[in-house]
């Protein structure tokens, strides 16, 4: 019985959106706070950087926010609390507890198995692989939102999922798919081993 590959996957970034349900005076916010950038001619949102947890937020005058950089939902919530405290420094009272919607999770790690990317590019659908330009293979996992970046040493990056449960599920589906392809490859090769 082959031993189960060791999973070592960590969330690197969670992108969320939320609404403060209040108009935000961005110019006033930019003037009052040093941790902000606002160039309305280039982009309609204000960028606010939070030191701890290390995150960035895009804040729009409509009160919509997009927060990125957190590595857990707890850190997302902490960041949004700090964003609200910063906004309240300019006397804008936020009365809602914003509903957080995860838009994307980026995770990386290792699945503990070596991968033949040339072979996978031939055997799997929904792949992009151009080794002259980039050493990783892009694989869109069917029937999921997940897209993987696979490297020959078993390192992976996963993007597109919206929850930890969906992320784990996608990684498990990926491993099943890779094992199936790997097994088919072995069975295909074995009878011809005597000829070079």
CATH code assigned to 16-102: 3.30.310.10
| This prediction's pTM | 0.87
Instruction: Read off the pLDDT of each residue in 70-74 and give the average, rounded to a whole number.
Output: 96
With vertex at residue 12, the alpha carbon angle to CA 70 and CA 35, rounded to the nearest 5 degrees, is: 35
Pairing outcome for strands 64-70 and 55-59: antiparallel
Dihedral angle computed from the Cα positions of residues 9, 12, 17 and 23, in that order, rounded to the nearest 10 degrees: 160
User: What pLDDT, in 10s, does the model give residues 124-166?
Assistant: 999 999 999 999 999 999 999 999 999 999 999 999 999 999 9
If DSSP codes are grouped into helix, strand and coil, which group holds residue 167? helix
Same fold, 16-102 and 111-190: yes
Domain ranges of the chain: 16-102, 111-190
- Minimal CA–CA distance to 138: which of 174, 110, 97? 174
Q: Express each pLDDT in 94-106 by its tens digit.
A: 999 999 999 999 9
* pLDDT of 117 higher than 50: yes
Mean pLDDT of 20-44: 97
User: Strand 127-128 vs strand 46-50: parallel, antiparallel, or unpaired?
Assistant: unpaired
Q: 41-71 pLDDT, tens per residue?
A: 999 999 999 999 999 999 999 999 999 999 9
Q: How far is CA 184 from CA 14, 48, 60, 127, 178, in A?
A: 36, 51, 52, 18, 10
- What is the second-level CATH architecture of the domain 111-190? 2-Layer Sandwich (3.30)
Instruction: Summarize pLDDT for 161-174 with one digit per residue, the tens.
Output: 999 999 999 999 99
Alpha carbons within 13 A on the beta-carbon side of 61: 9
């Amino acid at each position: 019985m082959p031993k189960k590959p060791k999973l070592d996957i960590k969330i690197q970034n969670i992108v969320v959106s939320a609404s403060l349900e209040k108009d935000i005076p961005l110019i006033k916010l930019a003037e009052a706070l040093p941790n902000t950038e606002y160039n309305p001619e280039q982009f309609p949102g204000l960028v606010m950087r939070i030191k701890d947890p290390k995150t960035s937020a895009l804040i729009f005058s409509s009160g919509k926010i997009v927060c990125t950089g957190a590595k857990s939902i707890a850190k997302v919530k902490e960041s949004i609390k700090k964003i609200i405290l910063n906004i309240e420094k300019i006397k804008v009272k936020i009365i809602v507890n914003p509903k957080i919607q995860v838009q994307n999770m980026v995770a990386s790690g290792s699945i503990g198995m070596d991968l033949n990317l040339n072979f996978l590019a031939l055997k799997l659908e929904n792949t992009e692989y151009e080794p002259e330009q980039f050493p990783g293979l892009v694989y869109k996992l069917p029937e999921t939102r997940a897209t993987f970046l696979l490297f020959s040493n078993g390192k992976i990056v996963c993007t597109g999922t919206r929850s930890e449960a969906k992320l784990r599920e996608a990684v498990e589906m990926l491993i099943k798919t890779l094992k199936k392809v790997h097994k088919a490859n072995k069975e295909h090769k074995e009878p011809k081993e005597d000829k070079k």
